[in-house]
Amino acid sequence: MEKARRRPPGRPRLDANEAPVAETIMRTATRLFMEHGYEGVSVEQVAELCGVTKATVYYHYDNKASLFTQAFIDLMNRIRQHTVEVLAEHTTLREKLTRVAELRLSVPHAVHDFDSLMGEAEVVLTASQLEAMKEAEHRIVQTISDEFKAAEERGEILRVRADVAAHTYLALLMVGKAKEKDGTKLFESPGQAAEELVSVLWHGIGTH
C-alpha cells in the first residue's frame, strides 16, 4: 500500500490531523474519480474541494496515480465490508443478493464498470499499483463466490460454478444504472433495479 512520504525538514507538523486530512483527500478523490474518471480529475480540483493546498495533497500522496490507486482500493475495501455484513445476515441468498445490489446501486456517484475506469488509468499506473487494485476488486468477487458455494452446500441453489455466478451477478449490477435512448433511467429506483436484476439471475430467461 502506498504510504505518505516522510515529512521534509521545515514542513509544518500535521501529526494530530494527518489521518483525517489524508482520509478526507482520499474520499473526495474517490467521489471525483467515480464521477469523472481518471483523466477528468486534477489534483488541483481535489485540493480545492478539500480546502487544502496541492502541497498538502502531495504530502500524503506521491502523485495523482498514487492517489487514484489508494482511492480505488479504499472504495473496494468499503464495498467488500458492506457486502460481508449483508451476507452475514440470517436471510435467504436471494434476499442477500437483492440487498447488496440495492446498496451498490443507491450510491449516486458510483461507477460500476470498474474495468473501464481502470483501463483509463492503467497507462499511468505501475505494475504494482495495478496488481493491488485488481487484488482489491478480486476480494469482492471471492466474497460473493464463497457465498454462492455456501448456498449450494445448504441446498439453496443448484450446483453452479461459484466464480462464474459471482462475476455474472456483478456484471448484472452494471445494468442498474442503464438509461433509455431518451436519457430516462431504465429503473425507477435502486430497489426496483435490484429486485428485477436479481430475479433475472435467480430464474434465468428460459421456459423451464
Are 4 and 59 in contact, with CB atoms under 8 Å apart?
yes
The reported pLDDT for the residue numbered 109 is 60
CATH of the domain at 166: 1.10.357.10
Closest among 78, 95, 110 to 174, alpha carbons compared: 110
pLDDT of 115 above 90: no
Please report whether residue 63 resides in a domain: no
pLDDT of 145 above 70: yes
Please report whether residue 84 resides in a domain: yes
The proportion of the chain whose per-residue pLDDT surpasses 70, expressed as a percent, equals 87
Strand partners of residue 185: 179
**Cα separation, 119 vs 137, whole angstroms:** 14
The reported pLDDT for the residue numbered 8 is 45
The reported pLDDT for the residue numbered 19 is 60
1-10, 125-134, 156-165: which has the minimum mean pLDDT? 1-10
| 49-70 burial: b if 16+ Cβ within 10 Å, else e | ebebeeebbbbbbeebbbbbbb
The boundaries of the domain holding residue 188 are 68-203
**Cα separation, 147 vs 158, whole angstroms:** 13
pLDDT of 118 above 90: no
Give the distance, in angstroms, between the CA of residue 82 and the centroid of all CA atoms in the same chain.
Answer: 11
Please report whether residue 24 resides in a domain: no
The domain tally of the chain equals: 1
The reported pLDDT for the residue numbered 169 is 97
Please report whether residue 42 resides in a domain: no
2-6, 115-119, 201-205: which has the minimum mean pLDDT? 2-6
pLDDT of 7 above 80: no
Please report whether residue 181 resides in a domain: yes
pLDDT band at 207 (very low <50, low <70, confident <90, very high): confident
